[in-house]
Structure 1
C-alpha cells in the first residue's frame, strides 16, 4: 500500500493537505494502542511530504522565465559601451528597501509582546511569513529561544504534525532539545526548592502539551524526567505520582529508558521506603515491639548509658530483631548506614549477655582437660592414679581459666570480622547444620581447633580423635538426655553438667570407650603417634 492510499489523498496533494490528513488519522492510530499501524502511518506521512516537496521544487525550477537575448539594434547604449563610444553610465543609487509587514512585527520581539504581535500578523495577512521569521529568530537567538518556542508550541502547534510552517529535521531537533532543556530546568528548580506539589503540577502541565503526545517526543521527554530524578532528591510518594503520570509499571513491563537508571530509581525508592518506615518506628516511643526496639537501638542517637538501659530487658526476640535489621542494612541498603548515628550496625552485640552455657562450657572444658592430663601424667610420669588426678584437676582448672580468657578476647576480635565470618559460614558449613545454636566458621571453628590441638599434644592422635568424635556426636545426633530450665542452668552450671543436659546418650558411651582405648595403648603400645604427639 503506497503512502497516498494510506493517507487517502490524491497524488498531487500539497504539503498542507498531507499534514491535515496525518493529524486526522493520528486520532485513531495511537502509538500506545497500535504501534505497527502508527509506524506505517508515520512512514507514509514522511514519504508523502518528501514527494510533495520534490514536486514543488521541480515546479519552481520549470517556471523560471528565460531572459530574452537583446538585439544589437535594440540597445544602442549597450553597443556603445562595448565599443567604448560613450562613457559608462554612473550606477543608480539603490533605493532603500522597505521592511515587509512580518519583518516590522518581528523587530524588538520579546516574550511579553509576542501575544500582541501575532494577532497583528494575522490581521495584516502575513501570518505565514511571521512564523517563518519567528523560526529563524529562535534559531539565531539562543537566549530567547526556549520561552518563544514554548509559546509557539502552545499557540501555533509547532512540533506537531498539524503545524503550518515547514522546518528541517535539524531545526526540529534543535527546537526539541531546547524546549526539553527549558522544561527540565523549571522542574529542577521545583525539586531543589522542595516544592513537590508544584513539581507534580508543572510535570502534568508539560506532559499534556500536544507536541509531547508524539511518540518520539514523549519517549525523549520521559528519559529527560528519568535522568532528572536520578540526579535529585525526592520522596517516595512523588516517585509514585510520576509513575502514574507516565504510566510506568514494572509488573506490566512498561518501564522507561535507560533501563539501568530505572532500576536504580526503583532500588532507591525501596531504600527510601525502608528508611521512612525506620523513622516511623522511632516515633513509637511507647511501643515494646521487638522491631521498634531494634530500630531505636540502631537508628536513634543514644549515649552509652541509654544504650545499656535500652538493652537491659532484651530477650532472644529483641536480639533477633537487631540481627535482622543489621543484616538488612548491611546487605540490601548499605547507603543508609551513612544516615545512622552508628557506622557499625553490629555494635549492639557488645551488650548481649553471655550465653547461659558459659558456666557449663567452663566446667566441661575443665573436666575434659583434667581427664586428658590424668592420662598424660600416668603415661609420662608414672604417677599413681589418685595423685595424677589431683594434679590434673589443678592443671585443668588453670588451663580452663586461661582458655576462657583467651576465648573472650577471641570473641571480641571475631565480632570485627563478622561479615567475613558470615560469608564463609554460609558457603563452607553444610546447610544441614544451619539450625540453632547457629555456628560460625571463625568464631567457633578457631577455638575448636585450639582445643583439638591441646588434646593432640597431651594424648596424640587418639586424644584428638576422642575430642573430635565427642563433638561430632553432639552436633549430628539430635536426641538429648534430660531437660533443664534456662534459669537453672544459669545459676547452677555444675549441676547442669552433672545432669548431662543437652548431651547425646552416645557421647558418654563414646568417651568411656576412647578412655579405655587410650589407656590400653599407653600400657601396651606407648608409641608415636597414637598416644604421643612427638616420637620418643
Structure 2
C-alpha cells in the first residue's frame, strides 16, 4: 500500500492539494501510464489517486502530517559517510512486486506464506487481485484460492478493490457458473446440476443479494425453458433456496411460478405412470395395464394388441385415469388423440361369448334328442345309432343361427351407445363380467336359442335354460381349467372348459335333463314339454 506522503510524490502534487487538482493530475498521468504497458506502475498510480482522494474527504492533513509534509518539501541533502554503505531496505510494495515476478498460480499457497513472512501480505494480495481482475479466465485456480481463502468479493475482503474490478470478477464467475448449469441441465445430469448449484451457493461471493437473486432467476429460467426435468430436482432446488415455504418470495412472476409448480406435479404424475409401466411384468395390475395403454398413444398397434386382453378391472382403471387427467392435469391432454382422455373407449370392441357356436350346437343337439323321446316307438338303441344325425342337425342349426346373428349385429350398430351404457350398468351391478359383452347385441343369440328350446322342450326346457344362466350370475368358481392344453390331454376337463359352467350349474342342468327325459318317456304330450 502507498504511504501518505508517497501518494503526493507519485501524483507529482504538493501535499494537501484539492480534489480538482488531484483528478486533473491523475488524468494527465494516465496518458503515459497504461495498465497494458506497465501494470505495476498503473497499480501504484491508482493506489496513490484513491489514497489522495480519501485524505481530502477525511478533512485533509492534521498538524503533524502537515509539518512532516512541509519538512519533506524543503531542500534535502543526503550526506553519505564514506565508511557507511548505502543499502536502503525495499518497501513492502517492491517486495510484493519481486515475488510476483516468478509467480505460478499452482503454488499460490507457498508464495502467500513468503509474502506473509516478509510483511508484504496486503500488497501482494492486492497485486494478485489485480492479476485476476485483468485476466479472470486465465487465472481460475488463483481466483478460486482468493474466494475460498481470502473471502474476495465478500464483506470480509481485507483489501480495497475498485468497483469495476469487483464487477468484472463477479461477471467472470457467474458466466462460468451459468455455463456449467446450462450444460448439466441440457444433458439431463440432475445430480451434477444440483451438486454444482449447492456448492456455489455456499460460497461467500454469492451472499450478495443481487448476485444471489440473479442466480435464482437464471435457475428458474432454466426450468422454464427446458422441456424435460425431474420433479425431484425441482423439489431439491426449492428446498435449497427456501421456495418450498408457502410464504417464500420467488424472484419471477407469480404466473410463471405457478406454471413451474404445475409442471412439477405433471412430471411427477407421468413418472408414476412410467414406473407402473416398467414394473408391469414383475407386478401386474389393472392400474399398470391402464398406465401402459395411456403411455402408448404414439403406438396405436401396440395399444390395440394390449387392449384385446383387457378385462373389466382394466377398463375401470382406464376410467379412473381419464378422470384424473381431465380434472387434475388438463395441460397433459395434448398427448392423447384429439385431446380426449377417453380415447380408449374406441378400443372397447365387441367380444362375443366364448365357445358360443359349440355351446349352441350342444344345447340344440340335446334338445332334438329329448324332443324325440316322447314318440311311441322311441328306442335308446335307435337314438344312439342316429346320434350323428342329431349332432349334425344341432351343428347345422348353430351355423344358421350364426349367419342370422350377423344381420342382427348390423342392426345393433345403430344402438351402440345405448348398448354400451346398458352394458356398463350391468357391469356395475355384477350382472355381466365385461363391458365388451354388449347386452343388446349378444341378447339376440340368447333369445333365439331360448325360443328354439321352448319350441323343442316347452316350459320345462325354457325354465332349465333360464335358471342355469341365472345360477351363473352367482359367480361360483367354475371347474374348468385355465390351461388350454387340457383340451387334448384330458377331454373331460376340456368339456368343462368349453361349457364354462360352475359345479352348481352342472348339478342343476343334469338334474333337469333327467327330469325332462322322465317326463318325455312317462308323460308324453304334457304341457310341460310342449310349446
Q: TM-score, normalised by structure 1?
A: 0.45
Name the larger-Rg structure.
Answer: 2
Q: TM-score, normalised by structure 2?
A: 0.46
